[in-house]
Amino acid sequence: MATPDIYVQPGTPNPLFEKIVNSPRLNPSPKETQESLKRSFAKYLASDNVSPPVGKLFDPTKHLTFEEPTYIHTMEDIGYPSSNGVSPVAVSEPFRLFSEDAVNIMRSEILDPEVQEKYSYTSDIAPKQIRGYAPKHAKFIFEAWKHPETLSIISKIAGVELVPVMDYEIGHINMSVPGKKQQYDKEVLISEEDEEAIVGWHRDSYPFVCVLMMSDTTGMIGGETALRTGTGEIKKVRGPQKGCAVVLQGRYIDHQALRAFGGQERITMVTSFRPRSPRVRDDTVLNTVRPISNLSDLYGQAVEYQLENAESRIRHMLRNIRESMKAGATDVRSIKSFLDFEIKTLSHLNKEIVEESMVKKGCVGEACVEANKRKKIE
């Protein structure tokens, strides 16, 4: 019996996806990764092997203004093994993604009074977040992040084919609005207890995120994303301008969003992504999102996509078993490997579905505690 291909090494792209794009190898040098990604941009974007658009409000010819990032940092660039995550890519430099008109439409949707009232959350690592409002109250935002041309861009920068984790995680908003004007001191270094962070040190719940800047950054000082490298040093990735974005493999890198100085607002939109292929590992956890979510929606959608992936793997294995029985050569090792994988995957999912009575609303601090523990160990 043929061995199923779900047990690929961490980060290995879906074999079907490799037919569309020339994805980087698992252990390339940073230079090789850069060159491979650049070569495959045009080929991927020209491919017609994509899903149809989900609506008619978002028009990529008007609303996408994509420009390649000047550089894409690999995991090796920042001191991590390339096999740490689901892709060798760590983080991109800011790149232009959406037009100003598109961002203004998005702003009008998230700043709607009903959205602000019904979908706002606060936590111990972020003062104000808005989530779970799309597509009901933000059809344009929903279409923009689900459009195949948008997904092709994000996937190519990430080095692996991605889709939004689930609808609930489309367009998560982090907000820092003007208050008392703050002065910037260039002599102050980032520390573990940096009080100027909008979102404290943490790792994301999902493999990749795309962070879109929705504010005018003219004259803004600060607002960067700080990363903790594999050697424990702090690296800052410059903040994007309005309409620009950064792609980050945030599940595997400790990071925090730094406050912008000068009394300006800083509104960023974060959409989370996972590998499209059910045969690429999924290390999703829900500890950073349970306390700031409608658990019925979060749990329902998380279990739905996980079961859909399991169904795909089971059907694939079932075909192999039927073929092997016809050939009279059942592969016991392959069967046990498959069952072990599914047991571990569903057991992990079971641990993430916590009874609502056990969830402390707004308490995401454990993610920061874990980040600090990793710092001490390193």
Between 59 and 217, residue with greater pLDDT: 59
E strand or H helix at 200, and its extent?
strand 197-202
Model pLDDT for residues 177-200, shown as the tens digit of each residue: 665 444 434 333 333 344 456 667
Residue 50: pLDDT band (50, 70, 90) is: low
Asked if the model's pLDDT at residue 146 lies above 60, the reply is yes
Compute CA distances 34 → 29, 77, 146, 238, whole Å. 9, 11, 26, 19
Asked if residue 352 belongs to a domain, the reply is no
E strand or H helix at 258, and its extent?
strand 255-258
Between 220 and 15, residue with greater pLDDT: 220
Asked if residue 288 belongs to a domain, the reply is no
Compute CA distances 204 → 35, 169, 250, whole Å. 28, 12, 5
Residue 44: pLDDT band (50, 70, 90) is: low
Q: Determine if the pTM surpasses 0.75.
A: yes
Q: Which of 60-74, 99-113, 131-145, 225-239 has the lowest mean pLDDT?
A: 225-239
pLDDT of residue 182: 45
Asked if residue 138 belongs to a domain, the reply is yes
Asked if residue 188 belongs to a domain, the reply is yes
pLDDT of residue 37: 56
Asked if the model's pLDDT at residue 377 lies above 90, the reply is no
Report phi then psi at 21, rounded to 5.
Answer: -130, 160
- What is the extent of the structural domain holding 217? 15-280
Model pLDDT for residues 23-33, shown as the tens digit of each residue: 333 344 555 65
pLDDT of residue 227: 94
Asked if the model's pLDDT at residue 276 lies above 90, the reply is yes
Asked if residue 85 belongs to a domain, the reply is yes
Mean pLDDT of the residues in the chain: 82
Asked if residue 49 belongs to a domain, the reply is yes
Find the CATH number of the domain harbouring 42: 2.60.120.620
- Residue that has been written with the tokens 């996937």 in this structure: 155
Return the SS3 of 26: coil
pLDDT of residue 372: 56
Model pLDDT for residues 306-344, shown as the tens digit of each residue: 999 999 999 999 999 999 999 988 899 999 999 999 999
Asked if residue 199 belongs to a domain, the reply is yes
d(CA 330, CA 317): 12
Strand order in the sheet with 234-237: 197-202, 255-258, 225-228, 234-237
Q: Which residues, 6+ apart, have CB-to-CB distance to 138 below 8 Å?
A: 106, 109, 110, 115, 171
**How big, in percent rounded to 5, are the helix, strand and coil portions of the chain?**
35, 15, 45
Asked if residue 149 belongs to a domain, the reply is yes
d(CA 92, CA 72): 4
pLDDT of residue 341: 92
Q: What is the mean pLDDT of residues 62-80?
A: 95
Exposure string of 326-352, with b = 16+ CB inside 10 Å and e = fewer, is eeeeebeebbeebeebeeebeeebeeb
Compute CA distances 272 → 27, 281, 301, whole Å. 24, 16, 14
- Give the chain's domain count: 1
